[in-house]
């Protein structure tokens, strides 16, 4: 995977009775901190080409270099768009992408 398809970010690690997952992704740990008190981890987010049955999904806007709206379920990304992602993709505004998230350890800079 090339460096242009990976992004170093920060995210909260949340464990509850339903799942364990990263949430609140951002390149700035200060922004992640605004969303709660869960432990902040450094993560590497990687674009998955082709079919994806993994856990994480996001939106890659046209002209953007970094995915946004990263969630642990595709349906959560779909909910960000009133008419769904297919409509936005058809308008040329971006595309939904499959993502892999690697934990680089707990910590902030």
The predicted structure's pLDDT at residue 52: 74
For residue 11, give both structure tokens.
């995210």
pTM of the model: 0.86
pLDDT in tens, 6-47: 999 999 999 988 889 999 999 999 999 999 999 999 999 999
Mean pLDDT of 90-95: 96
> Model confidence at 53, in pLDDT bands (50, 70, 90)?
confident
Query: Strand pairing partners for 41?
Result: 11, 106
Alpha-carbon Rg for the chain in angstroms: 14
Cα separation, 19 vs 1, in Å, equals 28
* 3: pLDDT strictly greater than 60: no
Say what percent of the chain tops pLDDT 70.
94
Q: Other CB atoms closer than 10 Å to residue 70's CB: what's the count?
A: 25
Q: Which residue do the tokens 């308008």 mark?
A: 91
Cα separation, 42 vs 103, in Å, equals 6
């Amino acid at each position: 995977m090339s460096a242009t398809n990976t992004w170093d970010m920060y995210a909260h690690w949340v464990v509850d009775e339903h799942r364990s997952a990263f949430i609140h992704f951002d390149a700035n740990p200060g922004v992640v901190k605004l969303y709660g008190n869960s432990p902040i981890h450094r993560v590497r987010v990687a674009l998955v080409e082709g079919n994806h049955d993994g856990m994480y999904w996001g939106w890659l806007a046209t002209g953007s270099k970094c995915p946004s709206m990263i969630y642990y379920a595709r349906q959560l990304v779909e909910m960000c768009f009133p008419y769904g992602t297919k409509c936005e993709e058809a308008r040329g505004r971006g595309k939904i992408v499959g993502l892999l998230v690697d934990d680089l350890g707990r910590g902030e800079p």
